[in-house]
Structure 1
Amino acid sequence: MGHALGIEFEHLSKDKIVANMPVNENSVQPFGVLHGGASVALAETLCSVGGWFLLEGMDKTVVGVEINANHIRSVKMGGKVTGTARPINTGRKIQVWECEIRDKRDKLVCTSRCTLAVVNR
């Protein structure tokens, strides 16, 4: 999914994950603006990578169990968005992450919260 949407990671750390995504023919809805599902896919990708990054050892992984999104502003085809995900809570069995997606003018496009379960591989 990340490859199809053109997601490119810019920053990876335990407290912040940042990636860019073009608004193009793969990520717009029929009216030529960023599809809400593409925003959610970007958010869940960032949160899941961040959650995986926090795990110790290779016997566990994370899976999304819930995600919500509030779509604030549209972005036209030809634009670009940047998602920034940060952990809110990182328990042994559940992680909660938040993700903000902003346009190239740093205007908020979407805010999302993602709950991940930590499970055995």
Structure 2
Amino acid sequence: MTQELVALMNEAGNGHLPERMGIEFIEATAHRVVARMPVQGNTQPYGLLHGGASVVLAETIGSTAAAMHAGAGRIAVGIEISATHHRSATTGHVTGVATQLHGGRTIATYEIVITDDQDRRVCTSRLTCMLRDAS
């Protein structure tokens, strides 16, 4: 993976939800995608990282990995996501790492682990994407 690819992935989110959430890709392959997101601006009224923000990060990086696995002329569509929130985050960034659990022709599944700046697990998510031809 080249820095040019990461730059293109970050640009692809411009004008869309990943940009609004401040998601920044760090590395990406079909088997592993890493990105980070600021806590500030993605909190609930109590000042804690919003659980929905963690799910947005998880689906963004898992779907990206699935699309890379699907290959040219194909797309990945999320069909199921789950998330367990282990602890809160109030400052800094959280980092998500999506790791492929299954990569088939029609389905790809990823585990996404989100940690805080102290490398403590904030959330564990699992995403399954359907892979199909682009129409």
TM-score, length of structure 2 as denominator length? 0.85
> For residue 104 of structure 2, what is the aligned residue in structure 1?
91
> For residue 28 of structure 1, what is the aligned residue in structure 2?
43
Shift of 1:13: 1.5
For residues 107 and 133 of structure 2, the distance between their equivalents in structure 1, rounded to whole angstroms, comes to 13
Q: Map 1:1-121 to 2 at 5 A.
A: 1-25=17-41, 27-58=42-73, 60-76=74-90, 78-121=91-134
For residues 95 and 115 of structure 1, the distance between their equivalents in structure 2, rounded to whole angstroms, comes to 6
State the one-letter code of the partner of 2:120. K
Which runs of no fewer than 5 residues in structure 1 stay unpaired? none
For residues 14 and 117 of structure 1, the distance between their equivalents in structure 2, rounded to whole angstroms, comes to 15
TM-score, length of structure 1 as denominator length? 0.94
Higher percent of residues as helix: 2
Aligned-residue CA RMSD in angstroms?
0.8
Shift of 1:15: 1.8
For residues 102 and 53 of structure 1, the distance between their equivalents in structure 2, rounded to whole angstroms, comes to 23
Which runs of no fewer than 5 residues in structure 2 stay unpaired? 1-16
Q: Tell me, what secondary structure is at the counterpart of 2:113? A: strand
Write out the 4+ residue segments of structure 1 that deviate beyond 3 Å after TM superposition: none
Higher percent of residues as strand: 1
Which structure is richer in relative contact order (CA contacts within 8 A, separation 6 or more)? Answer: 1
